[in-house]
Amino acid sequence: MSDNHSLSDYQSVRQLAIRSLFEIFEQFSEGTVIVDRDARIVWINQRYAQRFGLDDAEQAIGRPVEQIIPGSLMREVVSSGRPILLDILDMAKDPLVVMRVPIRDDAGAVIGGIGFALFDELRTLSPLLTRYQRMQAELASTRSLLQARQAKYSFGHFIGTSPGSLEVKRRARRGAASEAPVLLLGETGTGKELLAHAIHASSPRADKPFVSINAAAIPESLLEAEFFGTAPGAFTGADRKGRPGKLQIAQGGTLFLDEIGDMPLALQSKLLRVLQEKEFEPVGSNEVLRSDIRLIAATSIDLNAAVREGRFRADLFYRINVLPIEIPPLRKRLDDLPALCEAILDGLRDDHQTLYELDADGLALLAQHAWPGNVRELRNLLERTVLLGDRPQIDAAALHSALGTLQPLPAATSAPSVTLAAGQDFYAAREEFERQLIRSVLAEQAGNVDAAARRLGLGRSTLYKKMAALGLSS
């Protein structure tokens, strides 16, 4: 056989293959469309025309392809000369798997394009569609979970221009730029969690999870599992698949450990290992997992005193006390009251967008209160005043009605004369002072231990422990 004869056969077979391939796709696909170099339809089969609401395929001839097939990319294929071999065209009901290729003349110039819609008959593509839809659902779920773990507040939410507030924000911004642990110190309601969110939001880990856990709010028996997670079937009632702990959920991001001063001693040693060795073991597992978290801790108790009394590990205290930030109580930054009140009242607008305003007498009254609950108490008071009142103007009378008993600011007094009783040493004197102080505050709060703990700036469990040690009952 000569070379010329072989070449002739090749050209013939090629032409027959192209025609045969077109006929197969046209016959078994859901639709076929051909466009010219301007992406105007020159031919469309009847099935495809009816799918897009036309009674007769002739109605589509000469019209831009996008007018008939919304979302079509045939114009892109014609202008670029590049095929799109496999794509998904979204439809009102089921999506279509489509293939688009350019048409060239003998000189290689693009003169149009042809598209096939492949769906029902090519069943080998159904696993691809199923996998695509599953991946879309998983991606949406992952995005939703990550969004739920993002920081809710920024430094703009920490209201205040007093020297104390500005210093807090300055140190917090320094902490955000570092990977070192941050220890937030302050009474309840001063904004420790808000500041933790803000530090995370301004850190290089801002796009990773922000996970919080309150050591005082979870029973001691469950705290370790909550913190480290559990292996499958680790104990009776445990999830057979195992359960990830907060350390795993926070991987790559920030773990905010609130009320760290109430953490049990046994768990403190395990936390120290996480911080030093960057590894941990889930409850009931021998598997060692790597840990990559940035720790922000917070407490309302005096950790120095807790260390001296043996209630908090000194080595853990030194490890987390790299960048301490002490948040002053509201009574020590009363200059921030006007801005705080304005921001809170602005957030309390109702459906009618009522603008609430605080008059000068009302502001003066607030400046006389001791604020044992700090900014949280201020927010609750203003919200209660708005709910009980019927006017947008808030005055001293409305605040008095909502506040009840005014707790005056402690008066500045000269240092009292202190002497030791006969046979009494420093520790006995301190114990007696604590006993008298707690007894006095309990009486002031009508025996309410929660209120007394807030007034003293202690965690509730810490106050209960002190009361038991001092022989006091509620």
pTM of the model: 0.58
Q: Is residue 146 assigned to a domain?
A: no
| Torsional sign, CA 23, 25, 29, 31 | negative
Does one domain contain both 250 and 366? no
Please tell me what DSSP assigns to residue 332: G
Least confident piece of the model among 8-22, 32-46, 421-435: 8-22
With 70 as the cut, is the pLDDT of residue 32 above it?
yes
112 or 11, which is more confident: 112
Does one domain contain both 322 and 201? yes
Which residue reads 């920081």 in tokens?
151
With 60 as the cut, is the pLDDT of residue 145 above it?
no
Least confident piece of the model among 314-328, 356-370, 430-444: 430-444
Q: Is residue 364 assigned to a domain?
A: yes
> In the prediction, which pLDDT does 127 show?
64
> In the prediction, which pLDDT does 435 show?
84
pLDDT, mean of residues 296-302: 92
| 38 to 104, 116, 288, 402, 421: CA distances (angstroms) | 14, 18, 63, 73, 103
CB 294 within 8 A of CB 179: yes
What CATH number is attached to the domain comprising 354? 1.10.8.60
pLDDT, mean of residues 237-245: 70
> In the prediction, which pLDDT does 85 show?
84
Q: Is residue 209 assigned to a domain?
A: yes
DSSP string, 408-473: BPPPP-PPPP--PPTT--HHHHHHHHHHHHHHHHHHHTTT-HHHHHHHHT--HHHHHHHHHHHT--
pLDDT band, residue 474 (cuts 50/70/90):
low
Does one domain contain both 165 and 307? yes
With 60 as the cut, is the pLDDT of residue 125 above it?
no
Does one domain contain both 319 and 447? no
Beta bridge partners of 98: 87, 117
> In the prediction, which pLDDT does 53 show?
86
The pair of three-digit structure tokens given for residue 329, joined into one six-digit string: 């109580």
Q: Is residue 442 assigned to a domain?
A: yes
- CA atoms lying within 13 Å on the CB side of residue 349: 9
| Torsional sign, CA 279, 282, 286, 289 | negative
With 80 as the cut, is the pLDDT of residue 391 above it?
yes
Q: How far apart are CA 99 and CA 366, in angstroms?
A: 71
CB 270 within 8 A of CB 281: no
Domain holding 15, by residue range, is 3-125
Q: Is residue 410 assigned to a domain?
A: no
Least confident piece of the model among 123-132, 211-220, 421-430: 123-132
Does one domain contain both 299 and 336? no
With 70 as the cut, is the pLDDT of residue 137 above it?
no
Please tell me what DSSP assigns to residue 211: E
56 SS3 class: coil
Residues 75-109 have pLDDT tens digits of 999 999 999 988 878 776 667 888 899 999 888 89
Q: Is residue 416 assigned to a domain?
A: no
pLDDT band, residue 231 (cuts 50/70/90):
confident
Residues 264-288 have pLDDT tens digits of 998 999 999 999 999 988 888 888 8
Does one domain contain both 441 and 319? no
Does one domain contain both 398 and 256? no
103 SS3 class: strand
Does one domain contain both 304 and 397? no
With 60 as the cut, is the pLDDT of residue 393 above it?
yes
With 70 as the cut, is the pLDDT of residue 120 above it?
no
pLDDT, mean of residues 446-461: 81
pLDDT band, residue 17 (cuts 50/70/90):
confident
Number of domains in the chain: 4
Residue at which a domain ends, from 108, 125, 142: 125
What CATH number is attached to the domain comprising 106? 3.30.450.20
pLDDT band, residue 173 (cuts 50/70/90):
very high
With 50 as the cut, is the pLDDT of residue 413 above it?
no
> In the prediction, which pLDDT does 118 show?
75
| 470 to 303, 381, 428, 440, 467: CA distances (angstroms) | 19, 34, 11, 14, 5
Q: Is residue 14 assigned to a domain?
A: yes
Does one domain contain both 217 and 301? yes
pLDDT band, residue 443 (cuts 50/70/90):
confident
User: Using CB atoms within 10 A of its CB, is residue 218 exposed (0-12), middle (13-18) or buried (19+)?
Assistant: middle
What CATH number is attached to the domain comprising 266? 3.40.50.300
Q: Is residue 171 assigned to a domain?
A: yes
CB 248 within 8 A of CB 229: yes
CB 30 within 8 A of CB 5: no
| Torsional sign, CA 301, 303, 305, 311 | positive
pLDDT band, residue 122 (cuts 50/70/90):
very low
> In the prediction, which pLDDT does 196 show?
93
With 50 as the cut, is the pLDDT of residue 349 above it?
yes
Does one domain contain both 336 and 322? no
With 80 as the cut, is the pLDDT of residue 138 above it?
no
